[in-house]
Amino acid sequence: MDGTGREKPTLLEWVLDVVKGAGASAAEVMLAEGEALAAGVRLGNVEKLKSSSESRLGLRVFSGQASASASTAEFGRAELAKFAAETVALAKVTGADPWSGLPEPGLHPQHPMELDLVDREHGLVAAERALEMARRAEKAALDADARIKNSEGAEFESSRATVWFANSQGFFGEYSTTSYGLSVAPIADSGEGMQQGYWYTAGRKFEKLQEPEAVGIKAAHRALRRLGARKIDTCRAPVVFDPETAASLLRTLAAAASGPALYKGASYLVGRLGEQVAGPAVNVIDDPTMVSGLGSRPFDGEGVAVRRKYLVEKGKLETYLLDSYSARKLKLQTTGNAARSLGSAPDVSPFNLCLEPGRYDPEQIIRSVGRGLLVTEMIGFGINLATGDYSRGASGVWIEGGELAYPVHEITIAGNLKDMLLAIEMVGNDLEWRSSTACPTVKIGEVTIGGN
């Protein structure tokens, strides 16, 4: 799994020779090997201990402008030869697509990029250590307050993987990764009702995770502040999204800016490059080159070189997110955002997506609100990307006179993304990476909050 030697490159070259011999006009092959361990506890007792490893090869072949994709876990040469020939045969009976094909050869990276994606010291964490981390987080949550009386458990996950990629244009690349994650979900009970909290930490490097005790205490706090939640009357008011819920706005924006949504006419951002789509304080970056980022990689799912780019700069839409196929359909150039599973054609995805932090402390943002809402949880997926219409269930904390007053639940945030993003007035300075999408606290000037 360390990618040394010529074994894997030679295998990929052999597969490419086989598909060429079977009549393919072009092809790409990807091989992924990985190991993972997941350990979970509930009330201190082991509830989950799962170890897995997998090696799989994916193939995309072209017969002119027709293509087919498939994957296999069989690595015997006879089995691989049969698999390759069958995939080519499938491509030959598939309808031609004028936008289908490999990316332009000049878009492949010329030199390997070192992104420090592997924790060579810790590798795959042993089961005993993983269980210890989970127990420490859960115990800290249970000990945080007498009202934390139960738990949905805590879980620690660890993985490492290597990807090798080659195509018939002569490109070959590889990279390895590790990742670690710890989460806990305590339950608070006031005697009149129960509320669950949740928190997590994740990253490429074990030593950079938050301490288990800090994760547990944060999860307990999030459960406790939901106790005694009330309903409120429908109103229009400022809404502050905490970092977790604000990140969901970024994901929605990226989905609307992705090639497939655009060429299908299913995005409100069609034809809006260069236009103001958000408030001037909004700078959204996709950076697959970020050192040790959870979404970082040296090339995308088609072997195209990746780069840091502004999706939105000072509120203006600067680029779309494209793979080669969607770029051709839109008469643009790929942005290196092809993402794929081994057995399917590429899709489009951001890699490390973030809203650049602003200059406001979260407390300053809260103090700026006379009457409004801090959103801490979003529920459901009521978003129409074609129109921008937005309606999602939510819960959070009501703000009165710039102070957090009381928890609220069973509410709806309703509006249109076009207006909501333009109405972003304040951006916090509390950006923290715990996933491949990160966002600081964000204040939107006024939104409809549906209640009683």
- Confidence label for 6 from pLDDT (cuts 50, 70 and 90): low
Mean pLDDT for the chain overall: 96
Q: Is residue 374 part of a domain?
A: yes
**Mean per-residue pLDDT, 167-195:** 95
As a whole-number percent, the residues of the chain with pLDDT over 70 amount to 99
Rounded to an integer, what distance in angstroms lies between the CA atom of residue 133 and that of residue 126? 11
Residue 349 amino acid letter: S
Residues 171 and 243 in one domain: no
Q: What is the pLDDT of residue 452?
A: 84
Rounded to an integer, what distance in angstroms lies between the CA atom of residue 137 and that of residue 185? 10
Q: Are 117 and 178 in contact (CB under 8 A)?
A: yes
Q: Is residue 195 part of a domain?
A: yes
**Mean per-residue pLDDT, 23-50:** 97
Residue 74 amino acid letter: E
Q: What is the pLDDT of residue 1?
A: 37
Residues 150 and 18 in one domain: no
Q: What is the pLDDT of residue 444?
A: 98
Q: Is residue 79 part of a domain?
A: yes
Residues 333 and 422 in one domain: yes
User: Would the pLDDT of 3 be above 50?
Assistant: no
Q: Which of 178, 208, 224 is the last residue of a domain?
A: 224
pLDDT digits (tens, 9 = 90+) for 245-270: 999 999 999 999 999 999 999 999 99
Q: What is the pLDDT of residue 318?
A: 98
Residues 402 and 281 in one domain: yes
User: Would the pLDDT of 199 be above 60?
Assistant: yes
Tokens of 267: 């995005």
Rounded to an integer, what distance in angstroms lies between the CA atom of residue 83 and that of residue 102? 21
**Mean per-residue pLDDT, 195-199:** 96
Q: Is residue 12 part of a domain?
A: yes
Instruction: Specify the number of domains making up the chain.
Output: 3
Q: Which of 194, 224, 254 is the last residue of a domain?
A: 224
pLDDT digits (tens, 9 = 90+) for 358-415: 999 999 999 999 999 999 999 988 899 999 999 999 999 999 999 999 999 999 999 9
If one compares 64 and 452, the residue with the highest pLDDT of the two is 64
Q: Is residue 1 part of a domain?
A: no
pLDDT digits (tens, 9 = 90+) for 38-61: 999 999 999 999 999 999 999 999
pLDDT digits (tens, 9 = 90+) for 218-233: 999 999 999 999 999 9
For 310: left if phi > 0, alpha if psi spans -120 to 50, otherwise beta; the answer is: beta
Residues 434 and 289 in one domain: yes
Domain at 154, CATH number: 3.30.2290.10
Q: Is residue 369 part of a domain?
A: yes
Residues 198 and 289 in one domain: no
Residues 279 and 196 in one domain: no
Residues 286 and 268 in one domain: yes
Does this model's pTM top 0.75? My answer is yes
Q: Is residue 121 part of a domain?
A: no
Query: What is the CB neighbour count within 10 angstroms for residue 432?
Result: 11
Residues 350 and 427 in one domain: yes
> Domain range for residue 24?
7-35+51-107
- Confidence label for 311 from pLDDT (cuts 50, 70 and 90): very high
Q: Which of 201, 224, 247 is the last residue of a domain?
A: 224
Residues 331 and 440 in one domain: yes
Residues 348 and 450 in one domain: yes
- Confidence label for 4 from pLDDT (cuts 50, 70 and 90): very low
Q: Is residue 213 part of a domain?
A: yes
Residues 218 and 307 in one domain: no
